[in-house]
Structure formats: C-alpha cells, structure tokens
C-alpha cells in the first residue's frame, strides 16, 4: 500500500486506494469548530461521519452526570458505524478537540459502498471487533491490575496509536485532562494523580499544556506489563 497521511488502524489507512477514493467521494464535507458535538449518546440516527482531518474525543455519561472518556478518534477514522449497522441509538458522544474537516455519509450511501467494496466491509468489521476487544481488555484490567499498570497501558495505547516521535521521545498532542485519564483507568482523580506523578518522577513521561511526552517508551511498556 502506498504511504498515506492516516495512522495505522484507521479505516482510510486499512482500505486500498480504489476503495479509499470511492469513500472520500461520498457524503457532504463540513468543517466543525471545537468543541462541537458530532454525535450524541442516546440519539437515534444512522449516518456515519468520516474524519478527514480531525481529532475527537469519545465519551459516555456516568451515573453521577460526568462524562467518561473512553477513547479518541483521529483523521482517517469513521464514527457512528455501530448505529448505521444495527439501527440502535448512539452508544457514545463524540466531540471535536480542534477545528476538523469531516464528511457526513448517510446510511444508504455507506451500505451501497460496502456492497460494492467487500474488502472495505471486512476492514470495517475488523475495526469494530478491535474496538470491542479493547473495551473488554480494559474491563479485565480494571479488575485485575493496580492503578499504575492501568495508567501505563492507557498511556501506551494512546502514544502508540496517536503519537509521533521527536528527539525527546513520543509526543501526543491530544489534550486529555487528569479527570478524563482517571475515568479511562477507572479510578478517582486523586489516585490517578499519584500514579502519574510516579511515572513523571521516574522520567518515563512528562506532561505539559495540551500534550504529553513519553520519554522512555520501553520503560512505559514494562510498567504496562505488555509486549
């Protein structure tokens, strides 16, 4: 496959050039400022949104009224596919983190595209399966591992998927608050702060305004207890 500006794991990276061009011709192109809700949890609608040049957060409502961050989506990703495939209400809210270029594709258009591009349909099914596998793994992590390992795994997942390398390490230009990281790890914010402080003190990560730096990727992987 030729080089593309989209990250591995995103739909636009996984499909071939013919399917990619066909998909990018569908729908209506829009520009969304930040923060703007692209999809809202509980709403019954069936279109999908292709993130052409975008960064967005995926959140779900908690019983106490807070929004729990469960993932991030980047350029090349597709969102809303579950409702388009099964007709159920939206399972999460997706909000832009920066001004983003998106493409709104109706359910009928998507289905016609998938029928005409069966390889793309298989890749979309693989993406859905990967997201469910990640969600299941995090549930196990919450029950089986201490906070430091949970945090290291979340940080490593984000850095590996969305970071880029510079001379100091892996840079992640995604603005995640400590409260959002805490919800991803399933812990209270004060507990998250202690674990994050330990990683900073060890020189493994550094945090700043709207960004995180993984200084020692190998050490972070060891903390995450993952290959």
- The pair of structure tokens assigned to 12 is 């636009």
Among 127, 68, 75, 81, which Cα is nearest to 96's? 75
Residue whose entry in the numeric block shows the structure tokens 């850095």: 159
How large is the average pLDDT for residues 34-44?
95
pLDDT tens string 82-122? 999 999 999 999 999 889 999 999 999 999 999 999 999 99
Query: Tell me, what's the pLDDT at 1?
Result: 36
Domain coordinates in residue numbering, the chain: 11-140, 147-224
How large is the average pLDDT for residues 74-80?
95
As a CATH number, domain 11-140 is 2.60.120.10
Quickly list DSSP for 89-115. Answer: PPSSEEEESS-EEEEEE-HHHHHHHHH
Confidence of residue 4 (pLDDT cuts 50, 70, 90): low
Separation between Cα atoms, residue 116 and residue 98, nearest integer Å: 33
CATH 1.10.10.10 corresponds to the domain 147-224 = yes
Separation between Cα atoms, residue 49 and residue 26, nearest integer Å: 10
Higher pLDDT, 98 or 143: 98
């Amino acid at each position: 496959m030729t080089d593309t500006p989209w990250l591995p794991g995103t739909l636009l990276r996984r499909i071939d050039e013919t399917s990619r061009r066909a998909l990018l011709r569908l729908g209506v192109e829009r520009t969304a400022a930040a923060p703007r809700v692209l999809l809202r949890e509980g709403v019954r609608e069936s279109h999908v949104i292709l993130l052409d040049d975008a960064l967005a957060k995926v959140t779900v409502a908690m019983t106490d009224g807070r929004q729990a961050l469960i993932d991030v989506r980047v350029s090349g990703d597709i969102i809303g596919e579950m409702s388009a495939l099964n007709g159920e209400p939206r399972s999460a809210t997706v909000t832009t983190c920066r001004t983003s270029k998106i493409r709104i594709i109706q359910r009928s258009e998507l289905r016609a595209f998938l029928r005409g591009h069966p390889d793309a349909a298989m890749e979309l099914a693989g993406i859905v399966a990967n997201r469910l596998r990640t969600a299941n793994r995090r549930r196990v992590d919450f029950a089986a591992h201490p906070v430091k390992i949970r945090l290291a795994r979340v940080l490593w997942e984000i850095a590996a998927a969305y970071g880029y390398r510079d001379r100091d390490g892996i840079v992640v230009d995604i603005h995640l608050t400590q409260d959002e990281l805490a919800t991803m790890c399933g812990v209270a914010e004060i507990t998250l702060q202690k674990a994050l402080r330990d990683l900073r003190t060890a020189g493994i990560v550094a945090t700043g305004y709207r960004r995180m730096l993984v200084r020692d990727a190998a050490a972070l992987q060891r903390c995450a207890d993952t290959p």
